[in-house]
Structure 1
């Protein structure tokens, strides 16, 4: 008798475990399935609900998880599939089949319009492509012209490189270089003035001679103004 009870308990535990595994592997509802089932609540009852009512009904009758009820309901409100009106401190929700039918009809009309526009756009693009192909057929004459065009482009690149090579002989470039040299020479003269001024000050202040100052600061013996 005792062994029979043990066996029965083991079978019971095994059965419960099997049911648990099956339920855990059961695929949950997608977001769209939840929306569809929630709309069924409104269509089947044709009543007005508060959020707390939906949170009680949806899990029991439609298998929608309690945690997702509010999110699903709000998505339906955002899509104008469910009406929402605030009365006092509470929100009331409702949706009737007639409105849903009109909403689907409007949506279908919008999609038809978009489809027509896309179709017309496609036709326009195809016409533009066909028009652009005119005169570009693969003929011997076109192939010859393309080859000649490529040769001319290569020749142009070669001449451009050659012109760049002799750019230094350009009078405008030479004049620009001359002006740059004048500016540089003026700058050198200013720095030369500064060096001689500092040397003069050092000689008066410390009594150093030129040779000592030049050696201390690395000034060449032939340091002087540029001609």
Structure 2
């Protein structure tokens, strides 16, 4: 099975048409150029579009004489065109190099600022933590200041009385356990389990 031939791209067609004009160093009318280009693999239907694109890009010259359009491209003209294109590309390269240099200078300028920004962010976080701690301390201070001496003494006395009451009950529990052990000949663990008395129960100092 034969493979279908790939059609030529626009750039390939442009190169063929321009080469015909340069090699022959003749002035062509469009029909003559279509005939010559078709022999090189460029379809006649596409020659007009190709020629117009070359004229628009100043790769070939054209002029209208009477009712016909004429096209040509001499070697000297092609050389000048390539020289202009080269100069344009050199200018573009220089422009890009200048922009790149400016970017590198900006990076050097911004790098210390970026590091300072990180340090500033760290210090800011530490400051927020310290402010939070300070707020908590101020709340505690306000709480302590709101308690006058009389209130503190009263709270201290209430705590003392509560401890004494707890210790009395603890003493009563231990006495009850001791009595039951002797009276009913039971183990302490059995008594604690039966009465639901924790092993951790102890006196408060």
Partner deviation per Cα, 1:20-41 (whole Å, 9 max, x = no partner) = x34xx11111110000011111
Q: Which residues of 2 match residues 37-52 of structure 1 at below 5 A?
A: 37-52=16-31
C-alpha contact 1:43 1:95 (8 A) present in aligned 2: yes
In the alignment, what sits opposite 1:29?
8
Whole-angstrom distance in 1 between the partners of 2:84 and 2:13: 23
Map of 1:84 onto structure 2: 62
**1:63 partner SS:** coil
Question: Does the Cα contact within 8 Å between 1:136 and 1:142 map onto a contact in 2?
Answer: no
Match of 2:32 in 1: 53
Residues 51 and 92, structure 1, Cα contact 8 Å, conserved in 2: yes
Q: After TM superposition, give the deviation of residue 42 of structure 1 in Å.
A: 0.5
Q: Which whole-Å deviations, capped at 9, do the CAs of 1:148-197 have from their partners, x for residues lacking one?
A: 58x49xx9xxxxxxxxxxxxxxxxxxxxxxxxxxxxxxxxxxxxxxxxxx
1:67 has 2:40 as partner: no
1:124-203 to structure 2, matched below 5 A, reads 124-137=102-115, 141-147=119-125, 151=128
Report the count of equivalent residues. 130
Tell me, in whole angstroms, the C-alpha distance in 2 between the residues paired with 1:125 and 1:133: 12
Superposition deviation, residue 119 in structure 1: 0.7
> Aligned with 2:97: secondary structure?
helix
**TM-score scaled by structure 2?**
0.58
SS at match of 1:86: strand
Instruction: Note if contact 1:42-1:96 (Cα within 8 Å) is conserved in structure 2.
Output: yes
Q: CA deviation at 1:146?
A: 4.0
Q: Which runs of 5+ in 1 are unaligned?
A: 1-17, 156-227
Distance in structure 2 (CA, Å) of the matches to 1:142 and 1:130: 19
DSSP 3-state at the match of 2:114? coil
Distance 1:146 1:101, change over 3 A: farther
Which has the higher Rg, Structure 1 or Structure 2? 2
Q: TM-score, normalised by structure 1?
A: 0.52
Structure 2 alignment gaps of length 5 or more? 133-205
SS at match of 1:85: strand
Distance in 1 (alpha carbons) for counterparts of 2:102 and 2:117: 27
1:111 aligns with 2:104: no
